[in-house]
Amino acid sequence: MPIYRLAPLDLFDPRWILSREPGIAYVRASSLEDARRIVSDHFCPVDPAREPGGAPTPWCDESLVVAELVSDPRARDWGPPGLILVEPLTPTLGRPAPPPRRRA
C-alpha cells in the first residue's frame, strides 16, 4: 500500500482553526483521497463538511496541503492503512518564528 507525505502550505489561512496542531503527516493509504481523509480524521475530530453547508477541513484542500507519494526505499509499504508518523513543523514551513527570549 502506498505511503503519502502531506504537508501544510499556508498556515495563516483561517480554516486551520479547525485542525489541532498540524504537522507533516506520513500516512499509509490506498489512494491520495484516502490519505487526506485519514489525516483529516486525526487532526480534525469535528469535520464541518459533514454538516449541511460545512466547509471541508484544510487537510482536504489542495491549496492548503501539498501531498506526495513517498519513494524512500526505507519506507515500508506494507501494513494497514493509517497515520504512520507526524513531524512537527518548523518556522520555515509556514509558521512564524517565535519571538526571541529576553534575558533578565
Query: Which residues contact residue 41 at a Cβ distance below 8 angstroms, ignoring those fewer than 6 apart?
Result: 47
Summarize the confidence of residues 39-56 as an average pLDDT: 70
Q: Report whether 23 contacts 5 (CB < 8 A).
A: no
pTM: 0.72
pLDDT at 99 over 80: no
pLDDT at 93: 46
pLDDT at 41: 86
pLDDT at 4 over 70: yes
pLDDT at 86 over 90: no
